[in-house]
Amino acid sequence: MIVTLTPNPSTDRTVELTGELRRGAVLRTASVISQAGGKGVNISRACLAAGVPTTAVLPCAADDAFAVELRAAGIPHSLVAVDGAVRVNLTLSEPDGTTTKLNSPGIPATPAVLDELGSCLHDAAVRADWVVLAGSLPPGAPDDWYAELVADLRTVTRVAVDTSDAPLAALVDRLESGAPHLMKPNGHELASLTTGGLDGDALEADPEAAAAAAHELLDRGVGTVLVTLGGHGAVLVTADGDVHATPPPTTVVSTVGAGDSSLFGYLLADRQGLAPADRLALAVAYGSAAAGLPGTTIPHPDQVHPELVATRDLGRPAARPRA
């Protein structure tokens, strides 16, 4: 089973524009798509489509429209009651695939809510192959809350983390006291974590540099690092070596949810016992499939084609020639 935590869930509303986004103009829309989302919920939705047992843990009132949609979709979940409605995140999607996101802050979390979420997550983790901590933290949560959860959860199961900004920095600051088994930064997030003042755009375009930077996290106790590089694919970095995967040609419709799909693809392949290169291929195939779908649509397995993903062995950092 894959258990997910979405501490700051959102209704993801995607507005597809008929033309380029222009500030101050009156714009026409092609469609509006709305879906109960958030990184962990997206991964649980992918689990459901692939027949993988899952439970989505999140703060939400039982009568909130968000919870009603989860029940209607058949997504197994465990709710911690909060006062207030789940936030709405707005994505403006242009015809060329460019997206502009407007994210709301979310419902403030009290210490009691955080404690209940942690307890609920721990209870579910005992039966899980993986626990995924995903997304931003709500107002009121300390930046190091994920780090505290990792230290607890890694004693009972494997833990994956996909977050950014201050919670990611706080997690990295405390790796020595409890590193996750898997981290999934993108190129820009990885650049912010590693030494040497790396540029995020340059790192995303250079798989070898991304792999070398990810080894700084391995050296501090992280088991595996999956670095998504946008159109340049992804790299998988482990103690046994590094692999780069290039996605198949994809007409990008929306990149929202593509990273979540990539992470699920990796976890699915891990559950299937696949080799590292094949785990990475499935991760990239899931991300590419998601990028070709509107809104936050999570691909069904029959839309995912790992056989079209090209992989190459990058070897070990010490074995690669230096520039």
Residue 259 forms part of a structural domain:
yes
For residue 196, the 8-state DSSP code is S
pLDDT of residue 322: 42
- Pick from 66, 101, 130: which residue ends a domain? 130
Q: Is the pLDDT of residue 138 over 60?
A: yes
Same domain, 190 and 119: no
Span 86-101, average pLDDT: 90
Same domain, 123 and 230: no
Residue 45 forms part of a structural domain:
yes
Q: Is 260 a catalytic residue?
A: yes
pLDDT of residue 54: 98
Average pLDDT across the chain, whole number: 93
Annotated active-site residue in 260, 278, 302, 313: 260
Contact 290, 265 (CB under 8 A): no
Same domain, 63 and 198: no
pLDDT of residue 92: 92
pLDDT of residue 157: 97
Report the domain count for the chain: 2
pLDDT of residue 315: 83
**What percent of the chain lies above the pLDDT cut of 70?**
97
Helices (H) and strands (E) in the chain, counts: 10, 14
The first and second tokens of residue 306, run together, are: 């790992």
Give me the domain span that covers residue 42.
1-130
Span 108-128, average pLDDT: 97
pLDDT (tens digit, 9 = 90+) per residue, 42-78? 999 999 999 999 999 999 999 999 999 999 999 999 9
pLDDT of residue 323: 38
CATH of the domain at 300: 3.40.1190.20
Residue 237 forms part of a structural domain:
yes
Residue 154 forms part of a structural domain:
no
Among 270, 268, 195, 197, residue whose Cα is nearest residue 238: 270
Contact 51, 268 (CB under 8 A): no
Residue 143 forms part of a structural domain:
no
Same domain, 185 and 322: yes
Residue 140 forms part of a structural domain:
no
The first and second tokens of residue 246, run together, are: 């290039």
Residue of 202 and 160 predicted with greater confidence: 160
Residue 46 forms part of a structural domain:
yes
pLDDT (tens digit, 9 = 90+) per residue, 140-186? 999 999 999 999 999 999 999 999 999 999 999 999 989 999 999 99
In what order do the strands lie in the sheet containing 99-102?
A: 29-37, 10-17, 87-93, 99-102
